[in-house]
Amino acid sequence: MTEHKNEKLLSAIQEMDNIVNTLLDGEKGCPWDKEQTPHTLSEYTIEECFELVDAIRKNDAPNACDEMGDLVFGIMLIAKKYSEQGKFDFADALNTGIAKMRRRHPHVFDDTQNATTKSMEELHLTWESIKKEEKEKSTAEKKGVFSSIPNDLPSLTRAYRIHAKAANAGFTWDDEEEVERQVEAEWLELLDAKASGNQDAISHELGDMFFALTEMGRRMGVKASYAVDMTNNRFINRFEAMENLASQRNLDFSALSLDEKDELWEEVKKNETH
């Protein structure tokens, strides 16, 4: 069974590589694909990542499968572009990743490390320590704590990563109560900014509050970006259910009062399966 699965995987990778090669063929290839560069394709990669994450968080397995295929195709296309430049190919990228995962999981791949592994916290510290060593070896110039965090990450994801790095560097609040007090303080500062009517101050304080809330979530094992995405999806699902209820009852949803819409909202919430 394992051998059959390996053959299926290898066959799929080879076929995707064939498709990429055909699209980039000088005579019969696709003009759009041929004119792309790793730089121009990078934005599409970001979009595909978001679409894949959206499907996963909606528990839409068929769409997740579809989007994952799109993402892998895009990655293989970018790798082929780099290969044309004589820099690296897809196999090089896979082998680099393989070596990296082996290095970062000594408790799995290094028999001498198994006995010393004690906790998830220790595994995380080991992971970060190895990443730091890799970064220092890859450049002669020593970089800062946050140098490995991409600037183009979604804001809440980036805030989470910043807090995690700061915590590993020993720069964070001592305990959860201090974080909670900071969130309360940010809320009061936001209200003061709102009262002042200064839009720059309001934006500043709102950002500070989101930043502090992200750290509160991190300490509770929750990623703010994930939590907000789930809330967004939940709100949309409930709103669409409200619209459906109104339609089933021959009601003009847009003409309903806020109280009537609230009643539909509560009915939808009550009927949800948890």
- At 205-228, the pLDDT tens digits run 999 999 999 999 999 999 999 999
Q: What is the CATH number of the domain that holds 28?
A: 1.10.287.1080
For residue 249, is pLDDT > 80? yes
Listing DSSP states for 37-65 in one string gives -HHHHHHHHHHHHHHHHHHHHTT-HHHHH
CB 218, CB 163: distance < 8 Å: yes
25-63 per-position pLDDT tens digit: 988 899 999 999 999 999 899 899 999 999 998 899 999
Query: Kindly report the CA angle at 220 between 212 and 125, in degrees rounded to 5?
Result: 95
- Residue 146 included in any domain: no
Could you report the per-residue pLDDT of 113-164, keeping only the tens digit for each? 655 556 777 766 776 776 666 666 655 455 788 988 888 889 999 999 999 9
Would the pTM of this model clear 0.75, i.e. be above it?
no
- Asked if residue 181 belongs to a domain, the reply is no
Amino acid at 253: F
Number of domains in the chain: 2
Mark which of 104, 126, 152 sits at the end of a domain.
Answer: 104
The parent domain of residue 30 ranges over 2-104
Q: Which of 104, 128, 150 delimits the end of a domain?
A: 104
Q: Tell the residue number behind the tokens 């060593």, with chain if given.
A: 133
